């Protein structure tokens, strides 16, 4: 099956952006990277009241603007690889917002989601929470982290929320990739093997463990 729009997903620290760049280069595709700068994020991690909704809406509106640009730029003229799925915005909303905030968020989300193109394939990258935390700390030491590092308890909740979301996900073909033993963005062989899996994926959900 030929996929013109591929979205890569997974929790913070799993390596979505790096893999999106590698796949786009191999497929001669356009790459769309989520904008991580958010003026409310530091306040959210510090626990300031109201910051969760502000950060959530800021991300939602930024992603919507980006998705509109994809759609207006004739998405299907070239293969596109994105490092996020618009639908997964709800994972963070349900985890971070209270009931009143969630009511406001859901009304806006429902309006914006109508404009968003659906991917042909979603690649969900999995890793245990301890692996994600280690990768985030390594990035911070290297100066590559562009957002604050969440606490381990929050990362555990987030990782579980991702697993629940994609266990029930059926909107598009889904390729679930276990990444705890291999860095897909650093291994040429792993990327080539992943491309073979992508080309043979059809419908439903498929599970894949990369070779070391």
Predicted confidence at residue 209, as pLDDT, reads: 82
Write the CA distances from 166 to 7, 10, 23, 147, 205, integer angstroms: 13, 9, 21, 24, 10
Domain containing 147 equals 121-212
Whether 6 maps to a domain, the answer reads: no
Predicted confidence at residue 204, as pLDDT, reads: 86
d(CA 100, CA 88): 20
pLDDT at residue 10 above 90?
yes
Whether 4 maps to a domain, the answer reads: no
Which of 71, 163, 72, 66 has the alpha carbon at shortest distance from 124?
163
Collapsing DSSP to helix, strand or coil, 116 comes out as coil
Whether 136 maps to a domain, the answer reads: yes
Q: Is the same domain home to 113 and 160?
A: no
- Tell me the pLDDT tens digit for each residue of 34-83: 988 899 988 998 889 999 999 999 999 999 998 888 777 655 567 899 99
Whether 158 maps to a domain, the answer reads: yes
Whether 155 maps to a domain, the answer reads: yes
Tell me which of 52-56, 58-62, 138-142, 172-176 is least confident: 138-142
Q: Is the same domain home to 148 and 103?
A: no
Q: Is the same domain home to 82 and 160?
A: no
- pLDDT grade for 212, boundaries at 50, 70 and 90: low
d(CA 135, CA 116): 31
φ, ψ for residue 127 (rounded to 5)? Answer: -165, 150
> Last residue of some domain: 101, 119, 137?
119
Please give the biggest Cα pair distance in the chain: 48
Whether 113 maps to a domain, the answer reads: yes
Whether 11 maps to a domain, the answer reads: no
| Strand-pair partners of 177 | 125, 208
Q: How many domains does the chain have?
A: 2
Stated length of the chain: 212
Write the CA distances from 184 to 4, 23, 67, 198, 211, integer angstroms: 21, 10, 25, 14, 10
Predicted confidence at residue 77, as pLDDT, reads: 62
Q: Is the same domain home to 97 and 126?
A: no
């Amino acid at each position: 099956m030929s996929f013109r729009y591929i979205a890569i997903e997974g929790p913070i620290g799993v390596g979505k952006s790096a893999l999106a760049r590698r796949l786009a280069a191999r497929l001669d595709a356009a790459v769309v990277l989520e904008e991580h700068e958010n003026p409310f994020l530091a306040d959210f991690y510090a626990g300031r009241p109201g910051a969760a909704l502000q950060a959530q809406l800021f991300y939602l509106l930024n992603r919507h603007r980006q998705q509109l640009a994809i759609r207006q730029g004739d998405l299907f003229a070239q293969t596109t690889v994105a490092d996020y799925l618009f639908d997964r915005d709800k994972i963070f909303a349900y985890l971070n917002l209270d009931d009143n905030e969630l009511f406001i968020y859901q009304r806006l989300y429902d309006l914006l989601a109508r404009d968003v193109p659906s991917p042909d394939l979603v690649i969900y990258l999995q890793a245990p929470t301890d692996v994600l935390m280690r990768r985030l700390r390594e990035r911070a030491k290297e100066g590559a982290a562009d957002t604050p590092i969440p606490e381990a308890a929050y990362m555990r909740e987030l990782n579980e929320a991702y697993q629940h979301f994609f266990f029930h996900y059926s909107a598009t073909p889904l390729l679930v990739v276990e990444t705890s033993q291999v860095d897909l963005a650093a291994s040429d062989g792993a990327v080539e093997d992943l491309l073979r899996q992508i080309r043979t994926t059809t419908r439903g959900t498929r599970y894949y463990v990369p070779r070391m």
